[in-house]
Amino acid sequence: MTVFYLDTSVAVRILFHHSPAAASWFDATTGAPEHLLVSSRLLRTEITRALRRTGVEVQRRDEVLEYLGTLPVDHAVLQEAEAIVPAVKTLDAIHLASALRSGIEGLVLVTHDRAMERVAAEIGMRTLDPVTDDPGLA
């Protein structure tokens, strides 16, 4: 089983139909029993804020969120985010820390954010960008 950690940079593109390639990857991945998608609870907040900014109904977030397992943001995750040494934005650090603290072996970070992809590689995480790569199902 492959477990994918979905980052906001891809989730928002899927939700707003900005990337047919990412949407296709999402549909194929969520439809395959050998794959699992997870993300931080933070994703719900980020998607909600993006929907409110654009005047779109908040309930649309479920088009993505209902297919994900949710990882909690707790004190340990925030401490892990603080401990990430390479420079990365705060919310990205929380996502990376959530993925690290999940303890899921072989987890693949799904992101379209180049800085996050770089830092993930520096700390030893596998990454996938379904927006620009031809990911298949990894």
The residues spanned by each domain of the chain are 2-128
Show the tokens assigned to 54. Answer: 């654009």
Residue range 79-86: average pLDDT? 96
| CA angle (21, 116, 70) in 5-degree steps | 75
Superfamily of domain 2-128: 5'-nuclease (3.40.50.1010)
Q: How far apart (Å, rounded) are the C-alpha atoms in residues 98 and 5?
A: 9
68 SS3 class? coil
Give pLDDT, residue 134.
60
> Mean pLDDT score of the chain, rounded to an integer?
94
Q: How far is residue 64's CA from residue 6's CA, in Å, rounded to a whole number? A: 10
Q: 71: which DSSP letter? A: E
Residue 135 pLDDT greater than 60, yes or no = no
Share of the chain above pLDDT 70, in %: 96
Alpha-carbon distance of 88 to 10, in angstroms, equals 17
| 1 contacts: CB under 8 Å, gap ≥ 6 | 34, 35, 36
Q: Mean pLDDT, to the nearest integer, of 24-31?
A: 96
φ, ψ (nearest 5 deg) of residue 79: -65, -40
**pLDDT (mean) for 91-112:** 97
18 vs 134, more confident:
18
The Cα angle at residue 31 between residues 28 and 33, in degrees rounded to 5: 120
Could you give the percent of the chain with pLDDT greater than 90?
95
Q: What's the rounded mean pLDDT across residues 95-122?
A: 96
- Whether the per-residue pLDDT at 138 is higher than 60: the answer is no
